[in-house]
Amino acid sequence: MKSLDRFLRILVVGAIAALGAGSWVSDAQAQFIDEEPVGRLTIGGIIGAQFPGMKDINDNISTVNRFLTIEEVRRMDDVNVALVTGLDVRYKFSDRFSLALTWGALNARSEFDVTRADMRFYSRATTYGANLLYHFPGVVEFNDRVQVYAGGGFMLLQNGLVEWQAIDNTTNFFLEEGNLSEMSGKGTATGSGSGLNLMVGGSFQLGGRFSAAVDFGYRFGSLNNLELNDSEFEGLFERFGLGDPDDGEDEIIREPGDWAVYDFFLRDPSSTAFDGRKRTDPREEGLEQTGCGDCPLYYTGGPIEVDYSGPYAQFSFRIHF
């Protein structure tokens, strides 16, 4: 919340600066389309696509896909696209410069639900940004309805949410290479982050009050330092055996319980649970969740980072005031 408060203060200062600049920039010329003045303040609704890196997430999905392939279940798709939505307020305080303040969201997912397995990864983040744009003057001289601009600024990612679910509905409990049950569970985490935005774009003036814009760019930003939510963390712990578990005959426990979900987020053989249990502790008899010292760690690389960095393209319809 401190970073959000700081961002809001910067927005206010930036807006005041832009308005102040508009009052003294002497070369600012009024723009007319069909003899109708074009307002310098504009608000637009944004929709588009981001093509994020998501390396840590896709590495985990690649590991899960090996188990899905063994059990002849369809593979999960990599997370390689995110939906971009938002609102954008721009004020053109001179013929060559404008200030853009944005508020929006990024949503990315990969999931399927079939008879043999329910798999889901989902992440979202609220974005706040401020960008300074330079408008190329020669374009207006060629066509007074067209603006071409380039610029950049900073971005905050807040209210980040990450969900993971792996549910094994098969009965292949005794495969030598393991099975999806060893990864079964579901959990969520929250996080935040910051980054930068670089962009180029163009707009076409439909009239004095309306325009349409297309922007292309590259965002740098990720959710990191994720905090796991203990109230929404559940491992699917089951015991499979051919004999009587009470007699210890042919007893096999294939699932690590909630450690499977810790492993997805933390990827650490020495991780610690919410209640102080350690993964390196031996697993005790019974169905109580304890340690998991003999459980394989399939995921590697340390705590995941939800990396939204990547190119994007977006469209906005704008109203001028």
* Close Cβ partners of 97 (under 8 Å, ≥ 6 residues apart): 21, 132, 133, 134, 135
CA distance 29 to 211: 18
* pLDDT score at 123: 97
Q: Tell me the domains of the chain and their CATH numbers.
A: 2-24+34-231+310-320 (2.40.160.20)
Model pLDDT for residues 214-244, shown as the tens digit of each residue:
999 999 999 988 999 887 777 765 444 444 4
With a cut of 70, list the residues of the chain below it in pLDDT.
Answer: 1-36, 140-141, 171-178, 236-255, 285-289
The pLDDT assigned to 318 comes to 95
Task: Kindly provide the b/e burial profile for residues 68-103, where b requires at least 16 CB atoms within 10 angstroms of the residue's own CB.
Answer: bebbebeebbebebbebebebbbbbbbeebbbbbbe
Copy the structure tokens of residue 215. 């922007």
Cα 177 from Cα 71, distance rounded (Å) = 11
Q: What share of residues in the chain are helix, strand, coil (percent, to 5)?
A: 20, 45, 35
Compute the distance between CA of residue 265 and CA of residue 284 in angstroms, rounded to an integer: 24
Q: Calculate the CA 43 to chain-centre distance.
A: 25
Report DSSP letters for 130-163, one per residue: EEEEEE-HHHHHH-TTEEEEEEEEEEEEEEEEEE
Q: What is the DSSP letter of 232?
A: G
Cα-based distances in Å from 318 to 90, 109, 208, 209, 242: 10, 29, 11, 8, 67
CA distance 81 to 77: 11
DSSP letters, 162-213, are EEEEEEE----TT-TT--GGGG-EEEEEEEEEEEEEEEEEEEEE-SSSEEEE
Structure tokens at 29: 């010329």
Q: Name the 3-class secondary structure at 91.
A: strand
Structure pTM? 0.82
The closest of 238, 296, 305 to 57, measured between CA atoms, is 305
12-40 per-position pLDDT tens digit: 455 545 445 444 443 455 566 666 677 78
Rounded to the nearest 5 degrees, what angle is found at the Cα of 138, between the Cα atoms of 133 and 142?
A: 125
Q: How far apart are CA 287 and CA 297, in angstroms?
A: 20
User: What is the pLDDT, as a whole number, of residue 84?
Assistant: 98
